[in-house]
Copies of this chain bind each other. A is one copy, B any other.
Amino acid sequence: MNARPSTTISPVIAPPVIADAAALAEFLAVARRAGRTIGLVPTMGALHAGHVSLVDAARRDCDCVVVTIFVNPAQFGPNEDFSRYPRDLDADLQRLASHGVDAVFAPTTESMYGPRHATYVEVAGPAVPWEGEFRPGHFRGVATIVLKLFNLVSPDRAYFGRKDFQQALVIQQMVADLDVPVEIVVCPIVREPDGLALSSRNFYLSADERRRALAISQSLQLAKELVAAGTTDAAVVRRQMLDLLAKAELQVEYVALADPQTLAPVEVIDRLSVAAIAARVGATRLIDNELLGPEA
């Protein structure tokens, strides 16, 4: 096995790092032969407590927990932050220490996308609005890498955060449509004490931006309160959310109130709905969401 213990991390608690697919297959074959169930937590690194909550959920459900760390070029647009996306494997391993991770799979870009790579997974349906509109090709890249990781790991369960609400729907759609034998587990959003949803991209924020970014979770909270207090007109709720975001001088990409299965816009919030926001705070694009309505 291609273990690479960092010199700065105790090998006793840091998970072993596997860099190549053959070594991963060998590791997994041993686990499979022992009858162990496998939980996969796919990440792009820059790990925070949100990721750790996925690991902890996998640890509770599965015998063997595999975390993948791979900044997937295919899901970034040409003008997005692929090159400056935070990468610090040692910090990530430190973050995972003592959380019972059995292996970290951290492949190279070249090993995941060879020079003749020509196959992509295209999801329509829930992938079309929201991020699909503002990040063309994003979900194609996400679906492709996630399917590759599913094929490399053959997990019994895979864990995704509800912060990327649409992503979780897209993965579920792909898994159902392609008959992928995996259970998708979607875990709650983890927030800072003041409400900001944890995101690797929060690292980009200046102190001022960090303060203004709060308007995102606050406007979702406002929507929740309005609906809980009896407002059912989605246009009214949306208007108040936009006002709050405008006050913080955020550049809104979308504020949506929608059916949580199809993402079709709702006009009357009389059943479970999702409120979702994408907005730029300076150069940093953030997303967040909350469930609203009767069963939320």
Contact = CB atoms under 8 A, between A and B. Distances in A.
Interface of A: 21, 25, 114, 116-127, 143-144, 147-148, 151-152, 154, 173-174, 176-181
Contacts of A179: 21, 148, 151-152
21 contacts: A21-B179, A114-B176, A116-B125, A118-B124, A118-B125, A118-B127, A118-B173, A119-B122, A119-B123, A119-B143, A119-B174, A119-B177, A121-B121, A121-B178, A144-B178, A147-B178, A148-B177, A148-B178, A151-B178, A151-B181, A154-B181
A151 B177 contact: no
Per assembly, the copies of the chain total 2
A121 B124 contact: no
Contact of A118 (B120, B123, B151, B152): B123
Contacts of A126: 118
B118 A119 contact: no
Contacts of A122: 119-122
A118 B180 CA distance: 14
What 5 A-B pairs come out closest when comparing CB atoms? A118-B125, A119-B177, A118-B124, A151-B179, A119-B123
